[in-house]
Amino acid sequence: MGIVIKVPWRARPNFRFDAAAGAFGGFYSGAIFPFVAFVARRDLNADAAQLGLLTAAPYVGNLIALPFAQMISRGRPVTNYSRLLVFARLIMVYSSFASGSISFVWTVFAVQCLAAIPSPTYAAVIRSIYPTEHRGRLLSYARTSMAAGMMVSTFVAGWMFEFVSWRWLFLAAAPFGMIASYLFSRLRLPSDHPSPDDRHVVHFVWGAFKLLKEDVAFRWFALSVSVFGFGNLLTIPVYTMYQVDTLHITAGWLAIITNTAQITWMMTYAFWGRFIDHVNPLQIVMINTFLAALIPINYIFASQAWMLFPMAVVQGVISSGIDLSYFNSVMRFSTHTNAEQYQGMHSLLVGLRGVIAPFVGAEMAQSLKSHGGDIRWVFAVGAMMVILGAALQWVGLKHAPRESGI
């Protein structure tokens, strides 16, 4: 109740459902997604390309989110969003019956792809239900609830991996995802929520592309986070290869390291949320991007699993910071009438790098291994791109909007 008392009265009903949905959704996600690449590699012998596919999955959804945003938002956007997540989580049940890496990877791919599609609708809903002056703080509270759920379930699942098949664990998590979708469907949009855009989808998408031309600040933001994101995603599938093949990490150690990141993630949400309500979120993006370079650098020097703890702490700090600062930056660029177009364009650019970078990184690692090289060179390339992205954000700050969109 302590958190609820700090919530403005007009936002409390929606906040309760949003926070509860976050907790159940976090419990569902935490028992499954930190382990999918590990299961694919250790138990199903997935190759580098398949690990790249797992990394790229949500970004394919982002890639096609823009044209779907208008359709999902028509009629009852909250209900449509919830139904799509229910459908994705039902598909996830099939992964427990997968007989090999191909069927497993493609099932997870479909689930994460579908779950990412309605991200512009989610952004528009959150913008409407939370007051502008408190949005960062309230969103951080809801995210903390989600992080708590993930932390608990990841810890439990990591321990249970030693005694129970991953198939049963994934099945046991499914009901929590369904409950989360139901709770989110109980959100009620305010009376001033803008009417659905009734333009043809081609005009809607073209209008989103025009934002890159017309909004200089948004163009710099898009360029800088694309460079950073490419460098970050380049390394993700290679992290799994390095953990399993070189560090010989166990499910227990993976859960401990993941929980370290999640505890830090949860603890820093409130800090970033309050900070973002008082400063330009683009500054928070830049700070967190510079910090993100420490993760691939840590992997370069790590020779044992316990040496990944600094990476886990930094990952937790920047996961909360980037999550909130990205969302609030896009909200600052946008207005009530074009929030979905801004978020849709941001999702499209996220998707473009997400469907290319993981495969580039996986191919680089595979090529290095086949020629007797060290796959840690991929981490070095990723770190340099992350630093370049942060430098571009620093330059782009001079174009930053001074006031939030209304």
Identify the structural domains of the chain with CATH numbers, from first to last.
10-399 (1.20.1250.20)
Give the lowest-confidence range in 74-78, 128-132, 194-198. 194-198
Long-range contacts of 295-303 (CB under 8 A, 24+ apart): 295/232, 295/235, 296/231, 296/235, 296/379, 296/380, 296/382, 296/383, 296/386, 297/379, 297/383, 299/235, 299/239, 299/242, 299/376, 299/379, 300/376, 300/379, 300/380, 300/383, 302/247, 303/247
Among 260, 231, 290, CA closest to 147: 260
**Mean pLDDT of the region 205-224:** 86
The number of beta carbons lying within 10 Å of the beta carbon of residue 145 is: 23
**Mean pLDDT of the region 190-213:** 72
At 180, the amino acid letter reads: A
Distance of CA 236 to the CA centre of its chain: 13
User: Which pLDDT belongs to residue 211?
Assistant: 85
Whether the pLDDT of residue 3 is over 70: the answer is no
pLDDT band at 296 (very low <50, low <70, confident <90, very high): very high
Q: Residue 251 is encoded by which pair of tokens?
A: 């499910």
User: Which pLDDT belongs to residue 75?
Assistant: 67
Whether the pLDDT of residue 257 is over 80: the answer is yes
**Mean pLDDT of the region 24-45:** 89
Whether the pLDDT of residue 326 is over 70: the answer is yes
Q: Is 271 exposed, middle or buried (0-12, 13-18, 19+ CB in 10 A)?
A: middle
Q: Give the span between the Cα atoms of 355 and 351, in whole angstroms.
A: 6
Angle CA 357–372–35, to nearest 5: 45
| Reported pTM | 0.69
Q: Give the span between the Cα atoms of 325 and 398, in whole angstroms.
A: 17
Q: Residue 268 is encoded by which pair of tokens?
A: 């820093």
Mean pLDDT for the chain overall? 84
User: Which pLDDT belongs to residue 404?
Assistant: 44
pLDDT band at 86 (very low <50, low <70, confident <90, very high): very high
User: Which pLDDT belongs to residue 331?
Assistant: 76
Residues 6+ apart with CB under 8 A from 229: 350, 353, 354, 357, 389
Contact 41, 241 (CB under 8 A): yes
Whether the pLDDT of residue 395 is over 90: the answer is no
**Mean pLDDT of the region 258-282:** 81
Give the lowest-confidence range in 78-92, 282-296, 317-331. 317-331
Residues 6+ apart with CB under 8 A from 144: 266, 269, 270
Tell me the range of 40-49, 120-129, 313-322, 336-345 where mean pLDDT is highest. 313-322
User: Which pLDDT belongs to residue 383?
Assistant: 95
User: Which pLDDT belongs to residue 196?
Assistant: 58
Whether the pLDDT of residue 387 is over 80: the answer is yes
Distance of CA 346 to the CA centre of its chain: 13
Whether the pLDDT of residue 4 is over 70: the answer is no
**Each residue of 118-156: pLDDT tens digit?**
887 887 788 778 877 777 778 778 888 888 898 889 888
Handedness of CA 146, 151, 156, 157 (dihedral sign): positive
**Mean pLDDT of the region 166-170:** 92
Contact 31, 153 (CB under 8 A): yes
Q: Give the span between the Cα atoms of 25 and 406, in whole angstroms.
A: 30
